[in-house]
Amino acid sequence: MAILEDIFEELKLLNKNLRVLNTELSTVDSSIVQEKVKEAPMPKEETAQLETIEEVKETSTDLTKDYILSVGKEFLKKADTSDKKEFRNKLNELGADKLSTIKEEHYEKIVDFMKARINA
């Protein structure tokens, strides 16, 4: 019996909410109310365009440490073991034991090396 009383109380609240909603809708000018909302279509992003934009950014701005590390992550994902060994040798040649410790003057060399190995 208690469950039925709870359901009855909920129905009363719902009915009250509907009356309030109907009142609110009747006070709004019908010329303003739109039945359908028109949304602008989302622009399609093509990966080819993004890659060309990134290449333009690379050449137009200085190489940053964050960019070097992101290229390094991409390189490690795509490179095989022989490429990784050559990468380690290249780092040692440039006087660094890790990519994060490489000097700014060597950024361009290491990026060129990683890009060449990724694209090969």
Name the DSSP class of 43.
P
Res 9 pLDDT > 90: yes
pTM: 0.46
Count: domains in the chain: 1
Q: What is the reported pLDDT for 108? A: 86
Distance separating alpha carbons of residues 19 and 52, to the nearest angstrom: 57
**Per-residue confidence band for 10, with pLDDT thresholds at 50, 70 and 90:** very high
Look at residue 30 and tell me if it is in a domain.
Answer: no
Q: Please give the radius of gyration of the chain, using alpha carbons only, rounded to the nearest integer.
A: 31
- Would the CA dihedral through 83, 84, 85, 90 be positive or negative? positive
Look at residue 52 and tell me if it is in a domain.
Answer: no
The domain in which residue 90 lies consists of 61-119
Look at residue 73 and tell me if it is in a domain.
Answer: yes
Q: What is the reported pLDDT for 62? A: 62
Look at residue 33 and tell me if it is in a domain.
Answer: no
Q: What is the reported pLDDT for 109? A: 87
Q: What is the reported pLDDT for 118? A: 82
Look at residue 106 and tell me if it is in a domain.
Answer: yes
Residue 75 · residue 114 · CB < 8 Å: yes
Which residue is it, tokens 């990683």?
114
Look at residue 14 and tell me if it is in a domain.
Answer: no
Look at residue 107 and tell me if it is in a domain.
Answer: yes
Which pair of tokens denotes residue 73?
Answer: 């992550």
Look at residue 50 and tell me if it is in a domain.
Answer: no
**Per-residue confidence band for 7, with pLDDT thresholds at 50, 70 and 90:** very high
**pLDDT tens, position by position, 34-90:** 666 666 666 665 555 556 556 545 543 467 888 888 888 888 888 888 888 888 898
Which pair of tokens denotes residue 95?
Answer: 């006087």
Residue 111 · residue 68 · CB < 8 Å: yes
